[in-house]
A and B are shown apart, each in its own frame.
Chain A
Amino acid sequence: MLNPKQADKIASAILYAIAGFVILILAALLGYILYQGVPHLSWHFLTAPATAFTAGGGIGIQLFNSLYLLVITMLISFPIALGAGIYLNEYANKKSRATALIRTAIEILSSLPSVVVGLFGFLLFVVQFKLGFSILSGAISLTFFNLPLLTRSVEESLRTIPDLQREAGAALGLSRWETVGHIILPAALPSIVTGVVLSAGRVFGEAAALIYTAGQSAPALDFTDWNPFNVSSPLNIMRPAETLAVHIWKVNSEGIMPDAAAVSAGSSAVLIIAVLLFNFFARYLSGVLFKRLTATK
């Protein structure tokens, strides 16, 4: 039998080993992608259109599609999440069964596999509503995927604002809505913004919900045509739009692009760098907003 002191030493050694191993995996993971991917990054790679059968294609259109889809998704999902978060934290009767049921529904939505959400989007928007493979179908599907998390983050941000502020508004004859709109929301803004940017990172990398909604093709775009009603305009929301994440999946599963590995590595590096940027940006922005909120003018 080991005495407790020996057991303690052995256990510590094992824990060090496990942690070391995990650090190794994680570092290798990041290192591999960046090492493989970063050398491929060039202005040409980031801006040129993809080529299906020859090497040397870029990811310009996919990158634009990812960003544009992200913007449209946020435009749709943020107001809904904001409203839902406000209702849950400011109006809902916290003890009622109806509220508990609604919370359960949101939790279930957040735990649904994104492929199921994508298939639902495909069934309802692409097929039933005849929107086709389009940015709009994709953005709505991503909205469903994004709403639960974003709603929760809005709600939690609002919850951190002390009730004293709500009472202050109420005692001045302001309605709950006015107090929330002008006092509570501005105070909660730094953490709401963090939530939005972090969820943007998630949306940016999502692929499974998109392959059957925004589609897997990236038709050529005319970057001089900014009329959203023209077919080849980048702003057209009814066009199919393969995103960067979908592109990685597609070139790998089709296996016809000669430099698929290189393109995937480059795209993966871009995705990871984007997630990194989203993280930094979220921290930076919330810091700036917080400072402005408490600043002495």
Chain B
Amino acid sequence: MSVSARVGLGSAVRRAAFTPAIGRNQIALRTAILKRGVQTQSLPPSASQEILNAQRLKRPSSPHFTIYQPQLTWISSIANRATGGALSALLYGFSLAYLVAPGTFDSAHIIEFVAGLPEYLKYAGKVVLAAPFAFHFWNGLRHLSWDMGKFLSLKAAYRAGYAVLGVSAVTTVALVLM
């Protein structure tokens, strides 16, 4: 008794050691049932791809896109793509609409519709169309000059980027007032 208390094994060992023989089997049975066995499942090797993809979906990723400091380099790059995509979507949308319904989308109807709009809406529409076009045009020239090997240093890329922003603003104003 004193030995088990000093070693610190506690009451469980004392109970197990001093129970009568009839009770000992019950304790062994109870521990066997309470302990859960490891369950395995047999899978073919082809299932590994699905398991891997399921695990990959659960993996966390650190913030990257949400924390990168806005800079002229990547902002102008994604703006070039976004403006190009928007203008092309407009072209595609109009062409497909004309193909599907030439009676509704022919030039006479469109010009008539635009002419009937209030003045402020016409100006707003012109700004919305001219600004992306101007930026994409001038930034496109900046991109082509990179392709020819010019303005490739960071300083030069920034200077060209600011120049593009300035010239785009002037061009937008010129186009809107036309």
Are A and B part of the same complex?
Answer: no
Binding site for B on A (CB under 8 A): none
